[in-house]
Every structure is written in C-alpha cells, then in structure tokens.
Amino acid sequence: MPRSLNRGRGRGIPKTETAMDKDGNPTLLVHRTVKMRLEVLGQDYIPQARPNIPVARYNDSGRKLSEPRRMTYAEWNVDKPKFWKWVA
C-alpha cells in the first residue's frame, strides 16, 4: 500500500493557488462542506490544509514562518473570509 507523502500533515497550498486575481478577489476556493463541518463539529474539526496566505505565514507572536502553518478554528470559521471563497 503506498504511503502518503505528507504523512498526516496537511497539504501545503502554494502561493500561486492563493494569490488574489487582478480585481483583488481571492482565488483560493474552499468547499462549503468544510464550513459545515466547522459549524457542526465545532472545535473538534480543524482543516489540515496550510494555505500560503498572510494569516498562516506568521505565528502568534508575529514572527514570519518559513512555511505556512495550520490555521486555528477561529481563523477558519469566518462568514466573510478575506483570503478565500466558500463555494458549493
């Protein structure tokens, strides 16, 4: 059986997939089921993806990280995200 390359660590999403378009709209699309899981499961569910967006590139003390980190429940569970779009 093949092993996963990320070995339980969330997939890093490159900057090319998270850049804003020419009109300033986010190009990173997050499926609505992620939002549903956040609402239903509460803090028991945190997506493992590590998107390369400003929120995930800095730690709690404001230090810039070499790789994006996993975002917290509060950072994911927003109604109007600035850096991605909820899609069906």
7 domain-assigned: no
How many structural domains compose the chain? Answer: 1
- The answer to whether position 28 is within a domain reads yes
pLDDT along the chain (88 residues), means of 10: 58 80 88 94 92 90 91 93 91
pLDDT of residue 17: 81
Residue 82 Rama label (left phi>0; alpha psi -120 to 50; beta): alpha
- Domain-embedded: residue 21: yes
Evaluated on CA atoms 34, 38, 40, 41, the torsion sign reads positive
Q: Is 5 domain-assigned?
A: no
Reference 75, options 48, 55, 50; nearest CA is 55
Question: Is position 3 within any domain?
Answer: no
**What is the pTM for the complete model shown?**
0.77
Cβ neighbors of 29 (< 8 A, separation 6 or more) are: 84, 85, 87
Domain that holds residue 34: 12-87
47-65 burial, b at 16+ Cβ within 10 Å, e below that, comes to bebbbbbebbbeeeeeeee
